[in-house]
Amino acid sequence: MIDPARPRDLPPTDGAGGSVATLAPMDVAGRADRVRASMAEAGCDGLVVTNLTNVRYLCGFTGSAGLAWLGPEELVLITDRRYTDQSEAETAGAGVDVRIEITNELPKDLLVAASAGVGRIGLEAASVSWADQRRYADWFEAAELVATVGVVEGCRQVKDEGEIARMAAAAAIADATLGEVAPMLADGPTEKEVALALDSALRRRGADGSAFATIVASGPNAALPHKRPSARLVGPGELVIVDMGAVVDGYRSDMTRTLAVGEPDPEARRVFDTVRDAQRLGVEQVAAGRAIAEVDKACRDRIDADGWADAFVHGTGHGVGLDIHEQPWVRATATETLEVGHVITVEPGVYLPGLCGARVEDTVVVTPTGPRPLTTTPKELELPCG
């Protein structure tokens, strides 16, 4: 367990009481060449990177404004004067060979100069608006524009040792936080009060913040998969879904547990038992070379066997990393196979409108020897009360 009294001015924890500086390094410097290989497959020779998460992935820059140019030989970061010092410090800390350009004007001249001689320029279709596309068409009038999908995101799917270490640290913080806060459910708090306690404890234990908007949903609210915490009081015998995660150095964890204060009614208990069993079967399918759809199928078949196929209303999981939802997608229509270094969630659920719901979720790393769950909180229904 992490000491809840850990001083707040220490750097983020690595999940074992140390700092992020003790975590394995990430190979940020090698990412540009991997993305270049994907660019070639996408039919472009240069790429305008406008998705800020992808900018961070390529060069370590975490500012809220900027873009990157990735050409055949050069990586250029363009941002504004608010980030002059930050951009230099972060890219140097990441060990990236990048040219930094600072401007408070539209980056037309900088991009045109950087892309001189490049015939096919890729734009990230998912993050470029129609207005931006028209602007780029004017700027790059001598080049062919190529709409790209998932060029950087595809490279982000396989995590290195340093990335996994940060996600493991985030998961450890989330595990410890839930263990600390869960007993307060016995006092009949509101869902909002529990969510606030979780978010506060995550930061106190060293997380940069919550990985997403924390979900606490009790009783009939638990039948709504993404119900935001409300002023509803948690009642005895109700199923309570807690979906939470932490961020450490930009990397995220994701965990769901279903708890109960006292013994739920038999139908709710059966819902929980089915979901927990389905989740176990799904995790057992996580292996390098395994079709991703098989993970979904294992969970879905188990739930279907108990007659609740129509009550499992979402995919079985998703990739996790710098974004809480990223490739690969764990669903019935997936055509990819799992690879060593993929980090995915396995999170089946059953939701009975007006009655109850249950979901169990782990963040799982694909290793050469099988699944490695990063989230380790026990999956028992009964609330731990001291």
Q: Is the pLDDT of residue 10 over 70?
A: no
* Residue burial 224-263, b: 16+ Cβ < 10 Å; e: rest: ebebebeebebeeebbbbbbbbbbbbbbbbbbbbbbbbee
Is residue 308 within a helix (H) or strand (E), and if so which, with residue range? none
What's the pLDDT score for residue 213? Answer: 98
Strands 362-367 and 356-359: unpaired
User: Does 199 reside within a domain?
Assistant: yes
Same domain for 182 and 325, yes or no, is yes
Same domain for 241 and 323, yes or no, is yes
What token pair was written down for 345?
A: 């969630």
What's the pLDDT score for residue 7? Answer: 30
Same domain for 130 and 176, yes or no, is no
What's the pLDDT score for residue 382? Answer: 80
Q: Is the pLDDT of residue 2 over 80?
A: no
DSSP code of residue 349:
E
User: Does 379 reside within a domain?
Assistant: no
CATH number, domain with residue 134: 3.40.350.10
Same domain for 356 and 207, yes or no, is yes
Same domain for 182 and 331, yes or no, is yes
Give the pLDDT band of residue 383 (cuts 50, 70, 90). low
Give me the domain span that covers residue 35. 31-156
What's the pLDDT score for residue 379? Answer: 96
- Tens digit of each residue's pLDDT (9 = 90 or more) over 93-137: 999 999 999 999 999 999 999 999 999 999 999 999 999 999 999
**Number of domains making up the chain:** 2
User: Does 214 reside within a domain?
Assistant: yes
Write down which residue in 98, 121, 156 finishes a domain: 156
User: Does 18 reside within a domain?
Assistant: no
Q: Is the pLDDT of residue 386 over 50?
A: no
Give the pTM. 0.93
User: Does 10 reside within a domain?
Assistant: no
User: Does 385 reside within a domain?
Assistant: no
What token pair was written down for 89?
A: 């410090």
Sequential DSSP letters for 142-198? TSEEEEESSHHHHHHTS--HHHHHHHHHHHHHHHHHHHHHGGGGGG--BHHHHHHHH
Residue pair 172/373 in contact by the 8 Å Cβ criterion: no
Same domain for 254 and 345, yes or no, is yes
User: Does 20 reside within a domain?
Assistant: no
Write down which residue in 102, 124, 156 finishes a domain: 156
User: What's the rounded Cα separation, in Å, for the pair 43 and 34?
Assistant: 15
Same domain for 132 and 208, yes or no, is no
Residue pair 344/358 in contact by the 8 Å Cβ criterion: no
Amino acid present at 21: A
Write down which residue in 125, 141, 156 finishes a domain: 156
Residues β-bridged to residue 100: 77
Same domain for 317 and 277, yes or no, is yes
Same domain for 130 and 198, yes or no, is no
What's the pLDDT score for residue 6? Answer: 32
Sequential DSSP letters for 108-139? HHHHHHHTTT-SEEEEETTT--HHHHHHHHHH
Same domain for 212 and 72, yes or no, is no
Same domain for 236 and 315, yes or no, is yes
Amino acid present at 248: V
Same domain for 210 and 319, yes or no, is yes
What's the pLDDT score for residue 16? Answer: 43
CATH number, domain with residue 209: 3.90.230.10
On average, the pLDDT of the chain sits at 94
> What are residue 235's phi and psi, to 5 degrees?
-105, 160
Report the candidate in 295, 299, 303, 300 with the shortest Cα–Cα distance to residue 319. 295
- Tens digit of each residue's pLDDT (9 = 90 or more) over 139-155: 999 999 999 999 999 99
Residues β-bridged to residue 209: 247
User: Does 102 reside within a domain?
Assistant: yes
